[in-house]
Amino acid sequence: MKKWVLSLILMLVLSLSACGTAEEEPQANESEDTFKIGVIPALTEGNLEEPMEKLEQVLDDALEQDVELEVYPDYNGVVEALNFDHIQLAYLGPATYLEAHHRSGAQAILTQLIDGKPYYHSYIVTQHDAPWESLDDLLAEAEEVSFAFGDQSSTSGSIVPSHELKQRGVWEDEQTSDFGEMRYTGSHDATGIAVQNGQVDAGAIDSAYFNLLIEQGTLDESKFKVLWQSEELFQYPWAVSSEVDEETIQTIQDTFINIEDEEILGGFGASAFVEASDEDYESIRKVMEEMGRLD
């Protein structure tokens, strides 16, 4: 009797183990059959749904796997998803790309041209009728100034201008500065609108998105003046996780480079897509290291 009971228990254990394995395998296969893409929320206003849907379809046609594209709610979410291979391709700012490269070996493979150039700047802007004509003028009255950054992980909306302000002795960290008020809006358009509407006195913004927002009519150029411009920054990269094979990378590069759809290009303010590499972001890497962002 005891042997019979033990045999029955053993059969039940083996049966349950087999069921558990059978349930887990489809989930793994399902994940492998989907190529997932994450995009940072550089803008919160405007119609990005149609350009993203079109891009998703173009890549779905080009790749053997089904493609899913998602715009994430914040920059850090895209980095974490890339680091843990929850997505295989990501559109990030240079700083967020460098964090992903540092932590998980993500590789830049593409970027975009804006007016034919793969560069942009960080701007510090204020209202056209503000009393300051330069960044020095503004900082001389920093304790009376309300200042806006974009997302805390944004290259041009936070890290590069913060680096400049730190060198000038008015910014210490995300909680400490000489400004009367300091806030993080989360996106470039939110910063631009906050400055335009007088909700803040000045703010940091991506030059390419600033110009795009003016072209779209979201911002009125006549209501702004630029107090400061950074050196050239290499444009936002498309980066793959370390798990993506070379054949897939080549297909992705070829597909992006051949995109001529104005709606897709317009969604990124781009005139074309071109190849990029990790070396293109070396100058921004140095700023990140000085700011302690790659420890």
pLDDT at 295: 78
**Segments of the chain scoring below 70 in pLDDT:** 1-32, 42-47
82 contacts: CB under 8 Å, gap ≥ 6: 38, 90, 92, 100, 104, 106, 239, 241
What's the pTM value of the predicted model, to 2 decimals?
Answer: 0.82
Whole-angstrom CA distances from 273 to 100, 144, 157, 171, 253 are: 21, 43, 22, 35, 9
277 contacts: CB under 8 Å, gap ≥ 6: 107, 108, 109
| Length reported for the chain | 295
pLDDT at 267: 87
pLDDT digits (tens, 9 = 90+) for 256-271: 999 999 999 988 889 9
Say how far apart CA 209 and CA 52 lie, in whole Å.
Answer: 17
Say how far apart CA 109 and CA 136 lie, in whole Å.
Answer: 38
pLDDT at 46: 56
pLDDT at 41: 79
